[in-house]
């Protein structure tokens, strides 16, 4: 009897391991930070792009929804998502905060002149230090947050048609 | 054409394996005590065919026959010949063919070399081994066929990943495969031993050399990988506890435990089932490692292109292995009543196994833990160097002390006489350690312990050497490996504590002062080579006190096929220390990131590991001599 | 003679313990952080934009007087546990940290029982 228990438990143990391996196979092994959805952003303290001003949590709490978008003039995929940002500008319920990442001011301005300026507010992050505070690890990356600064969704890589639709439905619920 | 030929050979081999299984079963039932002659011939034919197909693949690589997908994806006409050839096993499909070579060649050799053992034992081993061969052949033919065609035929190949274009990496896989694929043969022998009730000393004798071969090659194979990582990855480290490295270390622990226990089985006829379990574990860990590496389930530096269907197949194979062996083991297992004196060599070998299993479990757990957290809690964690260092190192200290005492303990019953000597050795080790601290630099408490215990092992093994020579009773293999192991730990400890590295950003012409060195960024050249362009920096390193004046030239290589940048370190190796410099470009800036490192005794770490494995080879030759 | 050796020993060990530094080594922290956009590289080993940014921020935080632990905690909060190579010892990770020692203990007990079994004499 005792032997049987030991044998069954050893078999079950290995069965469990193989099962975990099997499920693990179908999981994506590339990491992203989407599991941070539901966390609250804190200690926001960004420099305004052109004025000698600070952008803080208070500025974001005013709006029902915010999209924080990290972009740069040297970033190719940023150009791909730009049209969607421009379309979001027409939505009322959302405030677009663009954070200019590790960029030269002139290039950034040229970029906005050329492709249009979708942002309600622009901050600058000259050395990229603020990106860490917002959990950004590569650009373009955008975070959709609500009034309480809770992360609703993270968009890693350029915003697509699908993401655009998602944002529009989310903010008009 | 070539692909048809290759494919046909693979199919014939699969047919041959089935035929060998069939004929062996038939032979089992016959009353004769000798094996049928044609079984030898079939096995010889089988391994010859697999080797032939491997040469066909190599020739396809040499002639850049891009009609084969594998060649197209991993080769390029402009690649140097050496890397065209090594490219044949530098990819998933080709390396599986290498697997098969070792499976079949070992199968044949084991059959030939064990003709003094009973027929049934040899036949069951052959049958089990051929099931393994068949499993891998199916995998090769239906999932990872190196002779698959691509149409239309591309004009040029995609090229081999540049960091794999390296001599150390050309020899690394074959060495490592002899190690862990070689373990298949004692897996088969273990299964066969249970099925044919061929146990005890004779069984131990039949597999001991095979365990030694695989262990020695595994050791050298791991070393080749480490050396490659040291100069090619450009970070100056030689062990990163990366999942792929761990996958090669796990069977090593199991093999080490195995050949220690095997000694007890051979001399005292004890631990039979434990030996069987270790044989099985070794090969299962090898396949598990292959699964982890090839399926892409883990995030690692050395990723093969991942493909879930591969993982699925290997997992299926793995679970068949596990449950098959568990089934047989449960059927045959008996609890034997062992009578061992606590103060005896048997006990100390048991203790060695105890530690080995601890290392094994720790490394295995650390490696697969992230898979479990992700599957069970959808939460990703990283388990890296700090985990292994914190958990393992304190235990290594105790292990080294026991490793110094253990080998001198006698079989059956021992008496400790030389307590005084041990205390003297300990005192000497402590003194040497503190002299190092006093003269050069202080280090953490745990490093003190590691260095004291490794010196303890070195001194006591050296004394044993001396005693051996005086008594003219040699046991060089064990002494060599143990002494080398002591030195390895010692040099790693010193290297860890006395290395320094500094990274800084420099423009052309800038100078940087680090401790008492100055590093000057003198020059930058662009040069064109056959299959890459290189930006070569020239750095002058000076040390005013010692009048050192070194020129090091790290490179940034730009490969077009495939399109990659690699960073080549420039290393000045010496007996006492290596100077190591790498540079990399910083995007959108005229600065270069320069990393300057001083690494003492690197060379001695490599040499120690070579000697660990030489110990294994000496034992092998001794065993062979005894047989004739 | 022995007394001299013992005195020497104590002198040195005192010297040794005294020298444990309190300065935070940024290089060590970089080695313990994973570069999220790389394949299995640490921040120390990578030269990517991400790694450079992290290096800047970590250096800043050291200057601000944060401890090593606080820096790890900050980064885990921002990027998840994936970023640190040393999983924090909490309830969730207790299996990882304790199981090896548990196995070690069980192994020891098994050997002990095996040796005890033998009859006296």
CA angle B408, B343, C98 (to 5 degrees): 95
Residues B121 and B13 in one domain: yes
The two structure tokens encoding residue A46: 């960004």
Chains in contact with A, where contact means 3 or more Cβ–Cβ distances below 8 Å, are B, C
Among B208, B193, B159, CA closest to B61: B159
B523: β partners: B538
B539: β partners: B521, B552
- Candidates A35, A129, A133; nearest CB to C80: A35
- Residue B418 has a pLDDT of 74
Contacts of A13 in chain C (CB under 8 A): none
CB distance A78 to A72 below 8 Å: yes
- Residue B628 has a pLDDT of 56
Burial of A20 (0-12, 13-18, 19+ CB in 10 A): middle
The two structure tokens encoding residue C51: 């790694």
- Average model confidence (pLDDT) across chain C: 81
Q: How many angstroms separate the CA of residue B342 from the nearest CA in chain C?
A: 6
Interface subset of B 155-214, CB within 8 angstroms of A: none
CB distance C54 to A133 below 8 Å: no
What single-letter DSSP state applies at residue B278? H
Tally the C-alpha atoms within 13 A of residue B395's C-alpha that lie toward its C-beta.
21
Supply φ then ψ for residue B245, to 5 degrees.
-65, -45
Counted domains in chain A? 1
Chains in contact with C, where contact means 3 or more Cβ–Cβ distances below 8 Å, are A, B
CA B188 to chain CA mean position, Å:
21
Contacts of A29 in chain B (CB under 8 A): 296-299, 306
- Residue C18 has a pLDDT of 47
* pLDDT, tens only, B187-219: 999 999 999 999 889 999 999 999 999 999 999
Supply φ then ψ for residue B159, to 5 degrees.
90, 155
* pLDDT, tens only, B21-59: 999 999 988 888 788 888 999 999 999 999 999 999 999
Among B288, B224, B276, CA closest to B251: B288
Q: How many angstroms separate the CA of residue B110 from the nearest CA in chain C?
A: 34
B526: β partners: B535
Interface subset of B 438-497, CB within 8 angstroms of C: 438, 442, 444-445, 448
Instruction: Say whether residue B233 is in contact with chain C using an 8 A CB cutoff.
Output: yes
Q: How many angstroms separate the CA of residue A17 from the nearest CA in chain B?
A: 9
CB distance A146 to A34 below 8 Å: no
In a domain, A6, yes or no: no
Counted domains in chain B? 3
- Candidates A31, A35, A129; nearest CB to C57: A129
Residue A166 maps to which CATH number? 3.40.30.10
Instruction: Say whether residue B240 is in contact with chain C using an 8 A CB cutoff.
Output: yes
- Residue C14 has a pLDDT of 55
What single-letter DSSP state applies at residue A40? B
Residues B395 and B507 in one domain: no
Among B430, B429, B417, B434, CA closest to B461: B429
Distance CA B327, CA A19 (A): 18
Q: How many angstroms separate the CA of residue A134 from the nearest CA in chain C?
A: 7
- Candidates C78, C80, C82; nearest CB to A132: C78
Contacts of A131 in chain C (CB under 8 A): 53
Q: In what order do the strands lie in the sheet with A45-48?
A: A54-56, A45-48, A121-125, A94-101, A65-71, A141-146, A151-156
Instruction: Say whether residue C44 is in contact with chain A using an 8 A CB cutoff.
Output: no
Dihedral sign for Cα B374, B378, B384, B390, please. Answer: negative
Q: How many angstroms separate the CA of residue A170 from the nearest CA in chain C?
A: 24
Q: Do B376 and A20 touch (CB under 8 A)?
A: yes
- Residue A61 has a pLDDT of 86
Contacts of A133 in chain C (CB under 8 A): 78
Instruction: Say whether residue B30 is in contact with chain A using an 8 A CB cutoff.
Output: no
Supply φ then ψ for residue B271, to 5 degrees.
65, 30
What single-letter DSSP state applies at residue A39? P
Among A117, A151, A138, CA closest to A70: A138
In a domain, A58, yes or no: yes
In a domain, A1, yes or no: no
Q: Do B386 and C85 touch (CB under 8 A)?
A: yes
Instruction: Please give the residue range of the domain that contains residue A128.
Output: 38-171
CB distance B500 to B598 below 8 Å: yes
CB distance B608 to B485 below 8 Å: yes
Q: Has residue C120 got a pLDDT over 50?
A: no
Residues B308 and B391 in one domain: yes
Residues B329 and B253 in one domain: yes
Distance CA B429, CA C9 (A): 11
Beta strand pairing status for B592-600 and B500-506?
A: antiparallel
Q: Do B381 and C93 touch (CB under 8 A)?
A: yes
Distance CA B294, CA A4 (A): 36
Residue carrying structure tokens 């921020």: C57
Q: What is the block-wise mean pLDDT of chain A (173 residues), using blocks of 10 residues?
A: 89 95 82 78 85 85 89 89 88 88 90 90 88 86 89 89 89 81
The two structure tokens encoding residue B272: 């039979």
Q: How many angstroms separate the CA of residue B387 from the nearest CA in chain C?
A: 5
- Residue C11 has a pLDDT of 61
Alpha helix locations (H) across B30-162?
37-62, 69-74, 81-86, 92-113, 119-138
Contacts of A14 in chain B (CB under 8 A): 319, 322-323, 326
Residues B155 and B215 in one domain: no
CATH architecture for the domain at C23-88: Orthogonal Bundle (1.10)
- Candidates B297, B311, B322; nearest CB to A14: B322
In a domain, A111, yes or no: yes
**Best residue in B384, B447, B500 to probe C by mutation, most C CBs within 10 Å?**
B384
In a domain, A20, yes or no: no
Residues B304 and B398 in one domain: yes
DSSP B48-78: HHHHHHHHHHHHHHHTT-TTBHHHHHH--TT
Residues B531 and B554 in one domain: yes
Q: Which regions of chain B are under pLDDT 70?
A: 1, 234, 299-306, 627-628
* Residue contacts between A and B (CB atoms, under 8 Å): 50
Secondary structure element (H or E) that encloses residue A54, with its range: strand A54-56
Beta strand pairing status for A94-101 and A65-71?
A: parallel
Contacts of B319 in chain A (CB under 8 A): 14, 18
- Candidates A129, A133, A134; nearest CB to C56: A129
DSSP B284-295: HHHHHHHHHHHS
Tally the C-alpha atoms within 13 A of residue B189's C-alpha that lie toward its C-beta.
32
Q: Three-state DSSP class for B225?
A: helix
Residues B347 and B292 in one domain: yes
The two structure tokens encoding residue B158: 């995609």
Is this complex's ipTM strictly greater than 0.85?
yes
Beta-strand ranges (E) seen in B321-461 are: none
- Counting runs of H as helices and runs of E as strands, what totals does chain C give? 5, 0
Residues B180 and B302 in one domain: yes
CB distance A71 to A99 below 8 Å: yes
Among B238, B243, B109, B77, CA closest to B186: B109
Contacts of C117 in chain B (CB under 8 A): 337-339
Q: Do A135 and C79 touch (CB under 8 A)?
A: yes
Interface subset of B 587-616, CB within 8 angstroms of C: 587, 593
Instruction: Say whether residue B337 is in contact with chain C using an 8 A CB cutoff.
Output: yes
Longest dimension (CA), chain A: 80
Distance CA B421, CA B408 (A): 13
Beta-strand ranges (E) seen in B176-257 are: none
Residues B142 and B47 in one domain: yes
Residue of B nearest to C119 (CA): B339
Q: Do C49 and B587 touch (CB under 8 A)?
A: yes
What contacts B22, CB < 8 A, 6 or more positions away? none
Instruction: Please give the residue range of the domain that contains residue B181.
Output: 168-413
Q: Do A24 and B315 touch (CB under 8 A)?
A: no
Q: For B428-472, what is the HEC assignment?
A: HHHHHHHHHHHHCCCCCHHHHHHHHHHHHHHHHHHHHHHHHHHHC
**Best residue in C59, C79, C103 to probe A by mutation, most A CBs within 10 Å?**
C79
- Candidates C41, C44, C101; nearest CB to B301: C41
Contacts of A39 in chain C (CB under 8 A): 77
- Residue at a domain's end among B165, B199, B223: B165
Contacts of A132 in chain C (CB under 8 A): 53-54, 57, 75, 78
Residue of A nearest to B334 (CA): A3
Among B164, B129, B148, B169, CA closest to B47: B129
* pLDDT, tens only, C40-73: 788 888 878 888 889 989 999 999 888 989 999 9
Q: Do C45 and B380 touch (CB under 8 A)?
A: no
Q: Do B235 and C100 touch (CB under 8 A)?
A: no
- Residue at a domain's end among B413, B448, B482: B413
């Amino acid at each position: 009897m005792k032997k049987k228990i030991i044998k069954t438990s050893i078999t079950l143990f290995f069965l469990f391991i193989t099962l975990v391996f099997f499920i693990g196979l179908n999981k994506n092994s590339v990491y992203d930070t989407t599991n941070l959805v539901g966390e609250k952003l804190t200690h926001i303290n960004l420099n305004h792009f052109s004025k000698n001003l600070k952008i803080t949590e208070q500025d974001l709490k005013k709006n029902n929804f915010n999209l924080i978008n990290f972009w740069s003039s040297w970033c190719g995929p940023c150009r791909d998502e730009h049209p969607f940002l421009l379309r979001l500008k027409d939505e009322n319920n959302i405030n677009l905060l663009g954070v200019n990442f590790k960029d030269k001011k002139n290039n950034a301005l040229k970029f906005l002149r050329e492709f249009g300026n979708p942002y309600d507010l622009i901050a600058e992050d000259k050395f990229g230090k603020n990106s860490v505070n917002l959990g950004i690890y590569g650009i373009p990356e955008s975070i959709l947050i609500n009034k309480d600064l809770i992360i609703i969704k993270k968009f890693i890589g350029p915003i697509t048609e699908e993401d655009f639709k998602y944002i529009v439905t989310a903010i008009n619920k | 054409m070539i692909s048809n030929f290759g494919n046909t050979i693979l199919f014939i081999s699969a047919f041959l394996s089935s035929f060998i299984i069939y004929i062996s079963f038939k032979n089992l039932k016959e009353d004769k005590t000798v094996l049928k002659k044609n079984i030898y011939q079939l096995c010889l034919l089988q391994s010859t065919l697999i080797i032939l197909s491997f040469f066909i693949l190599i020739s396809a690589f040499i002639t850049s026959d891009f009609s084969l997908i594998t060649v197209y994806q991993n080769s390029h006409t402009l690649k140097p010949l050496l890397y065209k050839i090594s490219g044949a096993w530098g990819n998933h499909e080709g390396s599986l063919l290498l697997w098969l070579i070792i499976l079949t060649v070992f199968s044949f050799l084991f059959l030939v070399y064990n003709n003094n053992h009973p027929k049934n034992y040899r036949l069951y081993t052959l049958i089990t081994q051929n099931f393994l061969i068949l499993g891998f052949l199916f995998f090769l033919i239906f999932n990872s066929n190196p002779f698959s065609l691509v149409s239309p035929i591309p004009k040029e190949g995609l090229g081999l990943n540049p960091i794999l274009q390296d001599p150390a990496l050309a020899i690394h896989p074959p060495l490592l495969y002899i190690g862990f694929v070689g373990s298949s043969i004692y897996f088969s022998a273990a299964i066969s031993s249970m099925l044919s009730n061929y146990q005890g000393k004779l069984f131990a004798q039949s597999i001991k050399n095979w365990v030694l071969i695989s262990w020695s090659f595994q050791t050298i194979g791991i070393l080749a990988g480490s050396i490659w990582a040291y100069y090619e990855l450009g970070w100056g480290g030689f062990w990163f506890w990366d999942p792929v490295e761990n996958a090669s270390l796990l069977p090593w622990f199991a093999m080490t435990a195995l050949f220690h226990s095997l000694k007890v089985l051979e001399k005292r006829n004890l631990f039979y089932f434990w030996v069987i379990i270790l044989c099985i574990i070794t090969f299962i860990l090898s396949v598990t490692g292959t699964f982890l590496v090839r399926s892409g389930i883990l995030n690692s530096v050395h990723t093969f292109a991942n493909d879930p269907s591969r993982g699925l197949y290997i997992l299926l194979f793995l679970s068949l292995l596990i449950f098959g062996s568990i089934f047989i083991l449960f059927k045959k297992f008996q609890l034997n009543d062992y009578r061992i004196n606590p103060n005896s060599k048997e006990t100390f070998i048991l203790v060695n196994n105890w530690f080995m299993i601890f290392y094994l479990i720790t490394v295995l757990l650390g490696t697969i833990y992230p898979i479990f957290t992700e599957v069970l809690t959808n939460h990703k964690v990283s388990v890296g160097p700090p985990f292994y260092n914190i958990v393992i190192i304190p235990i290594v200290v105790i292990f080294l002390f026991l490793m110094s005492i253990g080998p001198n303990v006698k079989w059956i019953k021992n008496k400790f006489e030389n307590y005084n000597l041990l205390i003297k050795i300990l005192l000497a080790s402590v003194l040497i350690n503190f002299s190092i601290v006093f003269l050069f630099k202080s280090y953490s408490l745990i490093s003190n312990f590691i260095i004291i215990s490794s010196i303890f092992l070195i001194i006591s093994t050296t004394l044993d050497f001396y005693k051996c020579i005086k008594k003219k009773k040699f046991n060089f293999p064990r002494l060599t490996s143990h002494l080398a192991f002591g030195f390895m730990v010692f040099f790693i400890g010193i290297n860890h504590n006395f290395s320094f590295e500094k990274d800084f950003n420099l423009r052309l012409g800038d100078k940087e002062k680090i401790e008492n060195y100055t590093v000057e960024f003198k020059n930058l050249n662009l040069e064109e080579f056959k299959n890459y362009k290189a930006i070569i920096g020239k750095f002058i390193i000076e040390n005013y006190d010692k009048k050192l004046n070194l020129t090091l030239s790290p490179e940034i290589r730009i490969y077009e096929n495939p399109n990659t940048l690699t960073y080549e370190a420039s290393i000045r190796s010496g007996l006492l220390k290596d100077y190591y410099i790498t540079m990399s470009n910083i995007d959108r800036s005229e600065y270069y990131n320069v990393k300057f490192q001083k690494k003492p005794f690197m060379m001695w770490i490599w040499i120690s590991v070579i000697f660990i494995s030489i110990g294994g080879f000496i034992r092998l030759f001794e065993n062979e001599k005894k047989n004739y | 003679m022995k007394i001299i050796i013992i005195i020497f020993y104590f002198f040195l060990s005192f010297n040794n313990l005294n020298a444990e530094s309190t300065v935070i080594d940024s290089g060590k922290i970089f080695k313990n952080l994973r570069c999220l956009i790389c394949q299995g590289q640490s921040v120390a080993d990578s030269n990517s934009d991400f790694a450079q940014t992290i290096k800047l921020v970590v250096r800043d935080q050291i200057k601000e007087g944060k401890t090593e632990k606080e820096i790890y905690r900050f980064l885990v909060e921002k990027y998840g546990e994936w970023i640190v190579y040393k999983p924090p010892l909490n309830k969730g990770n207790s299996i990882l940290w304790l199981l090896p020692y548990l196995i070690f203990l069980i192994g020891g007990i098994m050997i002990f029982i095996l040796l005890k079994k033998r009859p006296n004499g």
